[in-house]
Amino acid sequence: MMDNIFLNGMKFYSYHGVFQEENKLGQIFIVDAVLSLDLKEAGSTDDLEATINYGEVYDLIDQGMKEPSKLLEHVAERISTVLFSKYHRLEEVKIKITKQNPPIAGHYDGVGIEIHRVR
């Protein structure tokens, strides 16, 4: 059983979408991330080196969100790849990206994707 670090409700103004208006105007995206790893050593030693720094994770996700893409799937995959490359302790990652105002007629809180990757 894995332990989890989570960063919920991160908001980024980005330019992702298939339609030209989305790429020109941009919009707010909400990102949730769950990083799974063994946190026992960090819990018993109180050593930051035994875990993953939340601030660094936020910065990496911010960088990933700044690069425009057509598909949120592509953005999430790019972010998960960077996280696995940076953190050797990371075993699994879930990235959820929500687009609150897509150009789709209807009433909803948002649409988006969630990926789950395992090392």
Give the residue numbers marked as catalytic.
99
CA pair distance 32, 50, nearest whole angstrom: 22
Instruction: Look up residue 88 and give its DSSP letter.
Output: T
CA pair distance 31, 48, nearest whole angstrom: 24
Give the burial class of 35: count Cβ atoms within 10 A of its Cβ; 0-12 exposed, 13-18 middle, 19 or more buried.
buried
Token representation of residue 66: 């700044």
Provide the Cα torsion 41, 47, 53, 54; round to 10°. 80
Token representation of residue 31: 């990102």
